[in-house]
Amino acid sequence: MSNGTTFEPGFAKNLKYDLPSGLVVFLVALPLCLGIALASGAPLFSGVIAGIIGGLVIGALSGSEVSVSGPAAGLAVIVATAINDLGSFEVFLVAVALSGVFQFLLGVIRAGVIGDYVPNSVIKGMLAAIGILIILKQIPHGLGYDASYETDVAFLERGTIGDIVKAIYTFSGGAVIIVTISLAILILWDQPFMKRHKIFNLVPGALIVVVLGMVIEEIYRLFFPSLYLSPEDGHLVALPVADSIGGFFTQFTTPDWSALGNKQVYITGLTIAIVGSIETLLSLEAADRLDPFRRISSTNKELRAQGIGNFLSGLLGGLPITAVIVRTSANIYAGARTRTSAVFHAALLFISALMFPTLLNHIPLASLAAVLFMVGYKLTKVDLYKKMYKSGMEQFVPFIITVTAIVVTDLLIGILIGMVVGIFFVIKTNHHSALTVVNRDNFYLMRFNKDISFVNKSALKSSLSRIPDNAHLTIDGTKAIFIDHDIYDVIADFAASAGYRGITIELRNLESKLQPYWKVK
């Protein structure tokens, strides 16, 4: 991963590592910025803006030395839904700016631990469902049907299915050829035997696919006009082209602040902040594991940086931003030492959007669709479903229900349903494992195996109700460091009535814990 075994702090000392890795991340990020904007139903330029801010601003302020931020596939479904529900991209930008405010406040109140409270099964289900939706939404582009359909994101809504059906009946041979060749290259690029050669690790397959798509499109134009994908029909990237540097800065979209009175804007902003923060924190955890120098990132500092970045992105017309594991891992494996690499990659994105938009506008949407097919597949691999199934029903059921709920309804409802199911299984697991009761003749031992909370109240009541009359009950709290107030009350109520049934109670390592609530005489 790194070109050395020890880390020496200092800007100049690490430039020889950070500049090459920044170049690699730029090559990875450029097609993804465009592709994620396409998947989100947003202007393609908004993806580039988010990539630039993610590197220049968040990269400079980040709580991690190696994390790279930008537009994320995990938010594409939320963005597409929100643009449709809010009525315009300008109104949506208000929600993005507000999400930045919410994220910054999360960092201020030190909420960097929130990712730890979402069950892994729900998080994996969310990402898998997003992968499915990304694939579904790119099928028309892959077949050359480039109608503006991305705002219709629910799987069962007529628009999604209708556009796929139309794309099948009206497919473009030129687009299908580009997608087929591109997918073959991307699959080949990921094979282990290819990774043995350094060039395949440094040059991302997505970049090769994009360049090859431009070449094939030019071959179509010169020799096979019937296969040519016309820009007039919306088959190519369409970034704004400025005639001067001053004109470039006039192309940024500004938020419609009149929407501040719209309650839905705040709900959308909060949703983006929460989901984006979770994705960022998960990416940060992965970055710390991959970092060869095992540096620990500051989660709260990262949330504050993400908040500032998202606020600026909303102001300037960009997509929501998160820390992105694809770019982060590329950055680390390319040898990055400090956050300079993230800043440098963003500077290259800015230069390309400023100086070479005409060149970028020759990229076929079919090439980006192929890149997104692979992004979607990696989020929802068959192996993931097998692994979750082998992990047991308490993991698989919340996972598959989350996947199904998100695909059938929408992201927020699906996550809420998955959370409810996940919490049910957590309670069920704790219900059975928190305490045990054994007996010999009329002597009963109830042992608390770990900390006891209100979720164990039902199990405790049920176990106490089965203690027979004239029994001797020993309650052992040695292993329970924490005991909830509700549990004390249940024990106290049982002790108050035990004398009438001839039941005697002996406490082990519980007297001091119970003393504030009741006293055994």
- Mean per-residue pLDDT, 165-182: 84
- Mean per-residue pLDDT, 296-306: 93
The number of beta carbons lying within 10 Å of the beta carbon of residue 244 is 8
- Token pair in block for residue 99: 């999400």
State residue 411's pLDDT score: 65
Q: What is the pLDDT of residues 214-273, one digit of tens each?
A: 999 999 989 998 888 887 777 888 777 877 777 788 889 999 999 999 999 999 999 999
Q: What percent of the chain has pLDDT over 70?
A: 90
pTM, whole model, 2 decimals?
A: 0.68
State residue 162's pLDDT score: 67
Q: Is 339 helix (H, G, I), strand (E, B) or coil?
A: coil
pLDDT band at residue 161, thresholds of 50, 70 and 90? Answer: low
pLDDT band at residue 202, thresholds of 50, 70 and 90? Answer: low
The structural domains of the chain, ordered by start, are 12-381 (no CATH), 434-514 (3.30.750.24)
Ranges of beta strands (E only) in 310-434 are 321-323
Q: What is the pLDDT of residues 209-225, one digit of tens each?
A: 888 999 999 999 899 98
State residue 15's pLDDT score: 84
- Which H helix or E strand runs over 507? strand 504-508
Q: What is the pLDDT of residues 336-357, one digit of tens each?
A: 889 999 999 999 999 998 888 8
pLDDT band at residue 109, thresholds of 50, 70 and 90? Answer: very high
Q: Is the pLDDT of residue 521 over 80?
A: no
State residue 156's pLDDT score: 42
Q: Which residue, among 238, 186, 209, has the nearest Cα to 37 in the 3D structure?
A: 238
State residue 164's pLDDT score: 76
Q: Which residue, among 69, 70, 64, has the nearest Cα to 338 in the 3D structure?
A: 64
Q: 406 with 126: CB under 8 angstroms?
A: yes
State residue 432's pLDDT score: 60
Q: Is the pLDDT of residue 455 over 80?
A: no
Q: 114 with 325: CB under 8 angstroms?
A: no
State residue 3's pLDDT score: 44
State residue 431's pLDDT score: 60
Q: Which residue, among 435, 520, 519, 515, has the nearest Cα to 477 in the 3D structure?
A: 435
Q: Is 445 helix (H, G, I), strand (E, B) or coil?
A: strand
Can you give the three-state secondary structure of 274-322, one letter per residue? HHHHHHHHHHHHHHHHHCCCCCCCCHHHHHHHHHHHHHHHHHHCCCCEE
CA atoms of 320 and 93, how far apart (whole Å): 9
CA atoms of 271 and 157, how far apart (whole Å): 22
Q: What share of the chain is helix, strand, coil (3-state, %, to 5)?
A: 70, 5, 25
Q: Is the pLDDT of residue 158 over 50?
A: no
Q: What is the pLDDT of residues 111-157, one digit of tens each?
A: 887 766 777 788 788 778 878 887 887 888 888 876 544 433 444 44
State residue 511's pLDDT score: 63
List Cβ neighbours of 438 (8 Å cut-off, separation of 6 or more). Answer: 444, 445, 447
State residue 253's pLDDT score: 92
State residue 148's pLDDT score: 47
List Cβ neighbours of 13 (8 Å cut-off, separation of 6 or more). Answer: none
CA atoms of 374 and 376, how far apart (whole Å): 5
State residue 106's pLDDT score: 94
